[in-house]
Amino acid sequence: MTEFTAALRGNRRPPAKTRARPSAWDVALALAVLVVQSLLALSVRHDGSSPDALGWALLVVSALALVSRRTAPTATTVVVVLAVGPYHSLDYAHFATVPAGVVALYALAVGAAACRSLVALSAIVGVMAVLMSNSPDEQALPEMMRSSGWLLAVVVIGIAVRTHRNYVAAIVERAERTERTREEEAARRVAEERLRIARDLHDLLAHSIMLIGVQTSVAAHVLVADPDRLDRDAVAKALDSIADTCRDARAELRTTLGVLRAGEAKPATDATRPPPGLAGLARPG
């Protein structure tokens, strides 16, 4: 519901790609509108006079302004209104400018906030009502008011499309944010686990090395204290203790590495086997 409320308010900016420079599709659409408007100006009868040079210039401006309908929808709508207003005031073929007005209003409703689109529609209908009220044709104003309903429908459709796009974008953004949070949490847990393992290995190796050092000192003391009365049993016992400590440390280290490798989600290979002992090491050449 939060995403839908934000989308309905229309506060979300359109994606960056819709604010880039006009594309070939924009130019093609503007040219297509120009062709349609030209055909309407030439074929429609009893709907104002045929446009002269000024009328054709206004038709061209209203159509070509649509090139920037996605990059600058508000400015495009203003240009279209400034071209269509004088066109209608000069009593040219009125129906010929409908395509440009419809496309501009739709682009404004999709690319701008809903309140801006409704204000623009109200201003356009008001200006057109004033212009048509001065027309000698008594049916011009009623006809314009009937056609304004289609403009309102276009604006409503554009607002609905914008709301839907913003809603989908909000859901996608929320999903991406949740995924980033999940990944960051997983990375934090991995870092904490690595730190814990590093501390455990440090404590294990430090304790083993300390024992080896003490036992080595004892063996050295026995050898140096009284060489003539050497206690071979004491020396052998000290050396055996050193060997036992080394074996215990290596076994603990091998167990820890085995647990780490088992959690790496990799197929069982030689890399997951315990490290070789001294006999498995290659002899130096």
Amino acid symbol at 277: G
Residue 263, Cβ neighbours under 10 Å: how many? 9
- Which residues face 49 on adjacent strands? 92
20 has a pLDDT exceeding 70: no
Please tell me the number of Cα atoms within 13 Å of 226 on its side-chain side: 5
Helix ranges (H only) for the chain are 2-9, 24-43, 53-64, 73-89, 98-111, 114-133, 140-225, 232-262
Structure confidence by residue, pLDDT tens digits, 104-117: 888 888 888 888 88
My answer on whether 112 and 166 are in the same domain is: yes
Burial call 100-119: b when 16+ CB within 10 Å, e when fewer:
bbbbbbbbbbbbbbbebbee
Residue with tokens 């949740």: 178
pLDDT, tens digit (0-9, with 9 covering 90-100), for 115-147: 888 888 787 777 777 766 666 666 666 666 766
Residue 31: the pLDDT is 92
- The residue with greater pLDDT, 173 or 44, is 173
pLDDT at 225 over 80: no
The answer to whether residues 171 and 192 belong to one domain is no
Confidence of residue 16 (pLDDT cuts 50, 70, 90): very low
pLDDT band at 32 (very low <50, low <70, confident <90, very high): very high
Residues 156 and 204 in one domain: no
Higher pLDDT, 264 or 89: 89
Average pLDDT score over residue span 185-197: 85
Distance CA 224, CA 128 (A): 115
Structure tokens at 230: 């050497």
Q: Indicate whether 171 and 81 sit together in one domain.
A: yes
Residues 30 and 36: their CA atoms lie apart, in Å, by 10
Residue % of the chain over a pLDDT of 90:
7
Q: What is the CA radius of gyration of the chain?
A: 42
pLDDT at 230: 63
Token pair for 210: 């300390």
Q: Are residues 193 and 171 in the same domain?
A: no
Q: Which of 176, 203, 221 is the last residue of a domain?
A: 176
Structure token pair of residue 7: 């989308």
Do 74 and 96 reside in the same domain of the chain? yes
Q: What percent of the chain has pLDDT over 70?
A: 72
- Residues 147-182: tens digit of each pLDDT: 677 788 888 888 889 889 889 989 999 999 999 999
Token representation of residue 78: 């203003």
DSSP assigned state of 46: S
The greatest distance separating any two alpha carbons of the chain, rounded to the nearest whole angstrom, comes to 137
Range of the domain at 124: 2-176
Say if CB 106 and CB 158 are below 8 A apart.
yes
∠ CA 145-149-151, rounded to 5°: 105
Q: Are 219 and 235 in contact (CB under 8 A)?
A: yes
Please name which of 185, 225, 165 lies closest in space to residue 4, comparing C-alpha atoms: 165
Q: Are residues 210 and 158 in the same domain?
A: no
Predicted confidence at residue 137, as pLDDT, reads 62
Question: Are 3 and 167 contacting, i.e. CB atoms less than 8 angstroms apart?
Answer: yes
Q: Which tens digits make up the pLDDT trace of 48-107?
A: 677 888 989 999 999 999 998 888 888 888 898 888 888 877 878 777 888 888 898 888
Residues 29 and 167 in one domain: yes
- The chain-wide mean pLDDT, for the chain, equals 76
Indicate whether 48 belongs to any domain: yes
CATH code for position 197? 1.20.5
Q: Would you say residue 263 has pLDDT above 70?
A: no
State how far the Cα of 115 lies from the Cα of 113, in Å rounded to an integer: 6
Strand partners, 92: 49
pLDDT at 226 exceeding the cut of 70 = no
